[in-house]
Amino acid sequence: MWRSIGFVALNILTVLGRDVSEVLKERKNLLETEMSMMLGRDIILSDSEIKANEIIMNLKYEVIDNGCRDPGVFNLSKHFFEYKEEIKKTTLYKIIKAMPKGAVLHAHDTALLDADYILELTYLPDLYVCFQEEYPLFLFSEDKPRSTCDTRWQLLKEARYSSGNVEKFDAELRKHFTIEVDNPKAVYSNINTVWNKFQQVFIITEPLFSYKPVWEKYFYDSLKKFREDNVMYIEIRSVLPQLYDLEGNIYDIKDTAVSYKNVLDQFKKDYPDFFGAKLIYAPLKFVNDISEYIKTAKELKNMLPTFFAGFDLVGQEDTMVPLKKYMRELVEAEKDLDFFLHAGETNWYGTDSDENIADAIVLNTKRIGHAFALTKHPLLLKEVKKRNIAIEVNVISNNVLKLVDDVRNHPLATFLAIDAPVVISCDDPGLWGAEPLTHDFYVAFVGVASKHADLRVLKKLALNSLYYSTIYDKDKLVHEFDIRWTKFIDSIVRDVNASS
Amino acid sequence: MWRSIGFVALNILTVLGRDVSEVLKERKNLLETEMSMMLGRDIILSDSEIKANEIIMNLKYEVIDNGCRDPGVFNLSKHFFEYKEEIKKTTLYKIIKAMPKGAVLHAHDTALLDADYILELTYLPDLYVCFQEEYPLFLFSEDKPRSTCDTRWQLLKEARYSSGNVEKFDAELRKHFTIEVDNPKAVYSNINTVWNKFQQVFIITEPLFSYKPVWEKYFYDSLKKFREDNVMYIEIRSVLPQLYDLEGNIYDIKDTAVSYKNVLDQFKKDYPDFFGAKLIYAPLKFVNDISEYIKTAKELKNMLPTFFAGFDLVGQEDTMVPLKKYMRELVEAEKDLDFFLHAGETNWYGTDSDENIADAIVLNTKRIGHAFALTKHPLLLKEVKKRNIAIEVNVISNNVLKLVDDVRNHPLATFLAIDAPVVISCDDPGLWGAEPLTHDFYVAFVGVASKHADLRVLKKLALNSLYYSTIYDKDKLVHEFDIRWTKFIDSIVRDVNASS
């Protein structure tokens, strides 16, 4: 009986039909509600910001509209190497470069500066080289090194000038300091091929960087470069190699951390507007037993309580030991250490590397590195939001390290849509010749986020990076950010007024 | 005060630490809960199914484990053209081929059969060809056609034999009937280049197919091929071209639909185990006014009430008219017509084509074609689930038509994870030389779904295709499916028992 009445009512409704304005209203409501769910929803723009936003959005629309019309001209769906220089020339890129971007929370210490910088290091005195078939060995030394070498050790300076063609010599040498190539899609046919090259660069450069004077110079120059890119603060991950010097000293890895702290102190003296740096000790997850790592981490924390941020484990996730194997040690350590674990940097759904995300969550990680696989895990995604675990997204890294060819398919789009706790970071910008943070912000904003995502998203991403940092005095940091932000907004509006 | 008590309590907990078993239990619980949310969760496997599942899963694990170890050997993250023949040789593919797969709910009528089949059609008598610079024109005719031709009309038979090399002639001709090429990533640099070729094949083959005898033969042979691929039922989308014959008759497009119905009746007589087909009238969305389309659709519905399923609009979504422009006509039509709208077949987040999904939803579409962009729309995704709108996923289509390079990034992974109303379909298998439905099921199962996704997912996807079809007597269809499914399961278990 009820069913047939319902049926009649439905039929009347169907026969009468709906009004188009009603349907359009429902459509508008759905899309507006979605916009009100997006990251940045809580940001209210000032009048100046509204003006700046209009400028920024017009520049963004132009890129996207041109791309829709002719996808061939849309750079951001290509490989990063194909467009990284070209976009630097654009006004929108320059605006994002000038923008205060907050903190870098996911970056590896020996991959911050690019191949040109490393090549320059090879002009330092006392550097020996041994050219081997696969890759060269380096060592700073007063005398000819006695360590194993397939061919022979020679002073790099001599090798360079006896080569007969310094330019060619340097160009060949430079190739060992970057994963950049002309035809990346052909050269790096899959994730293993690119990771092999990627890891090789770390191996090759290790003896260059772990020479104590270089170590300190490299970190100082990194801070300088990040500061120039309008980064206020950085938390760096390090495997903490043992440093050495010309006198034959091999330092304890705790000295490596101390050396960072000293450099930082000097840098802050030289540039008082820089807010600082912290260290995440992040050794490689290929050992069976991490208790030695944990012990070191605790010692570092005791020794450098204000500089040490926490613990992580790094390496190619698909081929290395899954977190679950280290569960006992990690659970034991959690009362002493904060975790910032890499997890889900993979395309392999339902495998150990994919499920590392669950481990990271139950281990109360403060932030997750990458979590690229997270959109395939509705419950884990919900938990990450509920527990307020920040997702450290590195879009360009995921492109060049072969997780996603077209960044428009990057899961960040979904993270932004649901206002997940996201921070944008850069991972290893030096290895692919990206600028410290601007490239990643640009690609995230123009290539991944909705066409509608505006200045509020940019501002919120910058604020998130401060909020999810471990810095003690966040209020001060945010206050300083606000001052810089206002200046930045004023400069956009002023520049346009001046040129119009 | 309360704050400091809370602080002390927290500290005690932190100092005491947790037991590892407790943490492992939480991890297990999270992952198991996720599994219980996945598509297929309501399927309970019989003893035989459990045995069959073990066989299937071991085959699947082998592919994935090998891929994890050496991503270079994992076919499914490559372009479909690179592996489509190779996977056909595998046991797992053969099992999925034998599996009753239910219904095909998203397929375009003139893209069901492959280039070899079309090439054979060119051996029919009375076929004339005009070779032009870009592509050839065809026409069946008693006499030399008088329609425009840049060069000259000649009998195809004569052109073929006067070419001096029939094999080469046919190979050249065949290229016009497929989008397959040797180096797809180089040839199709972006979505527009591949869509241009894709649309060209439709244009070239149109005068071949719309010759009435061929039209009927093609449909009959399509049904045959789909039936052989263990498809029970199909809902085809058609632009419904005007047919012609040798006598110079040009038929009304309603006759085109009638001709389908007649072929179907004959086919069902010849193959009583086939459950049938329905028609979705799906003209191109490039006109300003669709009222003529709507009128035709209503007439078709009146004329063929059991054969006509509903209405859709097709074409490259990024470049064609968005649904919102047709809102008035569509809202007016909704009391008379069921919609099965394409929407969100795009990478462009926040654009009209992306937001077509919202239009489709508010227009009460019964199913959505593709909805590739849906995971970027948390609210729309929720609505789709709530309103039980089936998502017609065509993984291989999205790969070859350049939405996703590596299917492991296909949004289907998320749809499966949340048990969204998904059906797997094939779109235009003839144009890329895929088998009717097996290739799509294989890629979805092995390449996109979780490693853990098992026989329950396969069965549920097949059942979904019946459930979300418009067939009247679903119970009968499901009953027949069950019988075939049981036979299929028994055959797997038997084959293994026999060979062991």
**pLDDT digits over B11-26, tens only?**
444 446 789 999 999 9
What ipTM was estimated for this complex? 0.95
Tell me if B72 and A192 make a contact (CB, 8 A cut-off).
yes
A477: closest CA of chain B, how far (Å): 24
Residue type, A3: R
Mention every residue, 6+ apart, whose C-beta is less than 8 A from residue B224.
Answer: B267, B271
Q: Are A246 and A140 in contact (CB under 8 A)?
A: yes
CA angle A102, A107, A109 (to 5 degrees): 120
pLDDT single digits (tens) A398-423: 999 999 999 999 999 999 999 999 99
d(CA B486, CA A493): 70
Q: Which of A345, A355, A392, A435 is catalytic?
A: A345
B370 is catalytic: yes
Q: Are B416 and B38 in contact (CB under 8 A)?
A: yes
Position A7 scores a pLDDT of 46
pLDDT single digits (tens) B176-193: 999 999 999 999 999 999
Mention every residue, 6+ apart, whose C-beta is less than 8 A from residue A261.
Answer: A279, A304, A307
Q: Residue A427: which of A249, A182, A236, A196 has the closest Cα?
A: A236
**pTM higher than 0.90, yes or no?**
yes
Identity of the residue in A67, A347, A379 whose CB atom sits nearest the CB atom of B33: A379
Position B497 scores a pLDDT of 72
B345 is catalytic: yes
Q: Identify the H or E element spanning A354.
A: helix A352-362
Identity of the residue in B68, B355, B380 whose CB atom sits nearest the CB atom of A351: B68
pLDDT single digits (tens) B57-113: 999 999 999 999 999 999 999 999 999 999 999 999 999 999 999 999 999 999 999
Q: Which of A79, A106, A176, A370 is catalytic?
A: A370
d(CA B389, CA B420): 9
Mean pLDDT of B348-363: 98
Secondary structure of B20-56 in HEC code, one letter for each residue: HHHHHHHHHHHHHHHHCCCCCCCCCCCHHHHHHHHHH
Structure tokens at B139: 């026409």
Residue type, A294: I
Position B6 scores a pLDDT of 42
d(CA B32, CA A320): 24
Position B16 scores a pLDDT of 60
pLDDT single digits (tens) B158-171: 999 999 999 999 99
* A19 DSSP 8-state letter: -
d(CA B452, CA B448): 11
pLDDT single digits (tens) B453-500: 999 999 999 999 999 999 989 999 999 999 999 999 999 999 777 665
Position A3 scores a pLDDT of 43
Mention every residue, 6+ apart, whose C-beta is less than 8 A from residue B160.
Answer: B122, B166, B169, B170
Position A321 scores a pLDDT of 96
Residues of A in contact with B15 (CB under 8 A): 335
Considering only residues A11 and A215, tell me which one the structure prediction assigns the higher pLDDT: A215
pLDDT band of residue A12 (cuts 50, 70, 90) is very low
Secondary structure of chain B in HEC code, one letter for each residue: CHHHHHHHHHHHHHHHCCCHHHHHHHHHHHHHHHHCCCCCCCCCCCHHHHHHHHHHHHHHHHHHHHHHHCHHHCHHHCCHHHHHHHHCCCHHHHHHHHCCCCEEEEEEHHHCCCHHHHHHHCCCCCEEEECCCCCCEEEECCCCCCCCCCCCEEEHHHHHHHCCCHHHHHHHHHHHHCCCCCCHHHHCCCHHHHHHHHHHHHHHHHHHHCEHHHHHHHHHHHHHHHHHCCCCEEEEEECCCCCECCCCCECCHHHHHHHHHHHHHHHHHHCCCCCEEEEEECCECCCCCCHHHHHHHHHHHHHCCCCEEEECCECCCCCCCCHHHHHHHHHHHCCCCCEEEEECCCCCCCCHHHHHHHHHHHCCCCEEEECHHHHHCHHHHHHHHHCCCEEEECHHHHHHCCCCCCHHHCCHHHHHHCCCCEEECCECHHHHCCCCCHHHHHHHHHHHCCCCCCHHHHHHHHHHHHHCCCCCCHHHHHHHHHHHHHHHHHHHHHHHHHHC
Position B9 scores a pLDDT of 46
Position B495 scores a pLDDT of 79
Q: Are A358 and A231 in contact (CB under 8 A)?
A: no
Mention every residue, 6+ apart, whose C-beta is less than 8 A from residue A216.
Answer: A259, A262, A263
Position A16 scores a pLDDT of 60
Identity of the residue in B18, B31, B448 whose CB atom sits nearest the CB atom of A358: B31
Position B122 scores a pLDDT of 98
Residues of A in contact with B405 (CB under 8 A): 405-406
B194: closest CA of chain A, how far (Å): 11
Q: Which of B235, B345, B392, B435 is catalytic?
A: B345
Residue in the block written with tokens 């990458």 = A370
Mean pLDDT of B443-447: 98
pLDDT single digits (tens) A462-476: 999 999 999 989 999
User: Over 70: is that where the pLDDT of A297 sits?
Assistant: yes
Structure tokens at A442: 């640009």
d(CA A228, CA A231): 7
Query: What is the percent of chain B with per-residue pLDDT over 90, rounded to a whole number?
Result: 93
- Calculate the average pLDDT of chain A: 95
Considering only residues A11 and B381, tell me which one the structure prediction assigns the higher pLDDT: B381
d(CA A15, CA A32): 30
Query: What is the percent of chain B with per-residue pLDDT over 70, rounded to a whole number?
Result: 96
A305: closest CA of chain B, how far (Å): 18
Question: What are the C-alpha distances in Å from A490 to residues A50, A99, A230, A231, B475?
Answer: 11, 11, 16, 19, 67
User: Over 60: is that where the pLDDT of B128 sits?
Assistant: yes
Write b or e for each residue in B14-52: b if 16 or more Cβ atoms lie within 10 A of its Cβ, otherwise e: eeeebeeeebbeebeebbeebbeebbbeeeebeeebebb
User: Over 90: is that where the pLDDT of A479 sits?
Assistant: yes
Position B499 scores a pLDDT of 66
Residues of A in contact with B360 (CB under 8 A): none
pLDDT band of residue A500 (cuts 50, 70, 90) is low
Q: Residue A485: which of A45, A40, A41 has the closest Cα?
A: A45
Position A411 scores a pLDDT of 98
Sign, Cα dihedral of A212, A217, A218, A220: positive
Q: Which of B106, B108, B342, B370 is catalytic?
A: B370
d(CA A196, CA B77): 19
Q: Residue B257: which of B245, B240, B269, B243 has the closest Cα?
A: B240
Q: Are A241 and A296 in contact (CB under 8 A)?
A: no
User: Over 90: is that where the pLDDT of A498 sits?
Assistant: no
- Calculate the average pLDDT of chain B: 95
d(CA B234, CA B276): 7
Identity of the residue in B15, B37, B332 whose CB atom sits nearest the CB atom of A378: B37
Tell me if A26 and B328 make a contact (CB, 8 A cut-off).
no
Structure tokens at B487: 């036979």
Residues of A in contact with B64 (CB under 8 A): 348, 351
A168: closest CA of chain B, how far (Å): 31
Q: Residue A432: which of A461, A411, A402 has the closest Cα?
A: A402
pLDDT single digits (tens) A200-229: 999 999 999 999 999 999 999 999 999 999
User: Over 50: is that where the pLDDT of A171 sits?
Assistant: yes
d(CA B290, CA B280): 15
Q: Are B338 and B366 in contact (CB under 8 A)?
A: yes
Phi and psi at A264, nearest 5°, equal -60, -45
Domains of chain B (ranges; CATH) run 80-113+212-486 (3.20.20.140), 117-177 (no CATH)
User: Over 90: is that where the pLDDT of A104 sits?
Assistant: yes
Question: What are the C-alpha distances in Å from B273 to residues A25, B106, B405, B475?
Answer: 47, 21, 38, 15
Q: For an interface test with A, which of B21, B377, B401 has the most A Cβ atoms less than 10 Å from its Cβ? A: B377
Residue type, A273: D
Position A497 scores a pLDDT of 72
Mean pLDDT of A66-82: 96
Angle between helices A474-499 and A455-467 (to 10 degrees): 160
